[in-house]
Structure 1
Amino acid sequence: CLPNFDSRTNPITLFFRQPTIGEQAILLENIVKQVNDDKFQKWQSMHLTEAPASFAQERIFLDQHIRFSSGKDYEYSIGAYNELTVLKIVTGTISMLRLRKAIQWVLTKHLTLRTSLDFNSDKSMLLQRITQMHHTFEFVPSQTFDNDDHLHELLRQINENPNLFDLASGE
């Protein structure tokens, strides 16, 4: 047993100071017992929709604006963080309405998928904002292709198009 153990402190250092697995197990049992005895409240969302960007988000934003943009003509730019996944329906059909609803549900649930990055010149800082773009999500019109070479060319164009992933609008 650990005398005067306080569950509000970070026990990870205490955990690594235990020389044996048995003593680590005893420490974990004491922590679990104390957690179960305490009256903890579930963390609630603060419902924030705007905050300063993280260092990783700043890096992505700068990469897109400095390294990956070469002007307005996207022919000479690349899509910095486009991740293209192509699925082919081999047999049967798929309901576009159900697929759209499923994607909208995922976008609703996972706020990071609809976060935009905006430079606020008044505050001189990059801000992340949660957009409501998931309500207006639509599929682009279907593209058809003549053969495999044409398909691969379409996929290359889509993958390299920097206009498909717009950090400023969260789209």
Structure 2
Amino acid sequence: MHSIFVHLLDVSRDEISDYFDAHAERGLREHWYSPHRTDPDFSIRFPHAGSDFRDAENRKHVVEALEREPDMTVQFDAGLKRPAHKQLRAFLTALLTKYSGVALDDLSTHVWTVEELQDDVHIGGFAFADHESWRKLHKIHPSAPRSAEHGKQQER
């Protein structure tokens, strides 16, 4: 699983919560799932205090792109069951068309604009949040889940 952070301007927590209520399925408290809670492509939440940015350089790039500190940060978690980068990009394009802001994935330090998401720009050879292609290029494969029975068989 990987996290994407979206930094927004001129929007309140209540306004963005209403937007997510209208465009995703609400879970417990301030947590949403898209498209459905039972089989989500990604989840949405507000990040824990102090985890809005990876580091000081990350914050600097966001502030430069926005020309000030963001008013709100939202965290999207994706890739648990399927890549979902295309669905995530479509959701963020709609979000960033309505609200000013930028997005960051964890494949680069690039600060993504709505125009780049709309145009499916590739940075460093990869589309926004395209972990599947990144893993294939670097020959990194996620471990297959193992059943409890598998562990018992090895112990015998």
TM-score band (shorter)?
under 0.3
Q: Hey, which of these two has a bigger chunk of helix by percent?
A: 1
Larger-Rg structure: 1
The TM-score, its normalising length taken from structure 2, stands at 0.25
The TM-score, its normalising length taken from structure 1, stands at 0.23
Q: Hey, which of these two has a bigger chunk of strand by percent?
A: 2
